[in-house]
Amino acid sequence: MTLKERITEDMKAAMRASDKERLSTIRMVQAAIKQREVDERIVLDDAQVIAVLEKMSSSAANRSWPSSRAPSRPRRQGIRPRSRCSRSTCRPSFSEAEVDALIREAIASTGATSVKDMGKVMAP
């Protein structure tokens, strides 16, 4: 199995595991490999793939923050940082009973009587 094939298999595993950070990193690696293949009009072998990875890791090491972490605040306006929690670690702020009570309250306050009135209930 070539290194490119292994990276593809790792990407599939990350997709199955819903590991978004790992998937994002693997896609970035694949994009760098594909970019070099397109630029030079060649198919990279394992040694050339390793060279691409080394170049990526050296450029990441030259950043002002550790390469294992993204900046805590966005560089551009209007972009918020990604959440670091997964579904299994983040707890919802309301229990199911509290959500049901809030829904009933919204329906009662808007006077909704059918599904056609859902827009009234959903309005901010």
Q: Where are the domains of the chain?
A: 3-61, 93-124
CATH superfamily entry for domain 3-61: Uncharacterised protein YqeY/AIM41, N-terminal domain (1.10.1510.10)
Q: Positive or negative, the Cα torsion across 8, 34, 31, 65?
A: positive
pLDDT at 100 over 90: no
Q: Which residue's entry shows tokens 């790792």?
A: 10
CA-based nearest residue to 106, from 90, 83, 82, 122: 122
Percent with pLDDT over 70 in the chain: 73
Between these two residues, 92 and 110, which has the higher pLDDT value?
Answer: 110
Average pLDDT over residues 42-60: 88
CA-based nearest residue to 21, from 87, 54, 70: 70
To the nearest 10 degrees (0 to 180), the angle between helices 20-40 and 3-16 is 150
- pLDDT tens, 62-96? 665 554 555 555 566 666 666 666 555 565 677 78
pLDDT at 44 over 80: yes
How far apart, in whole angstroms, are the C-alpha atoms of residue 32 and residue 52? 7
Average pLDDT over residues 99-110: 86
pLDDT at 115 over 90: no
pLDDT at 102 over 60: yes
pLDDT band for position 33 (50/70/90)? very high
DSSP annotation of 61 reads H
pLDDT band for position 26 (50/70/90)? very high
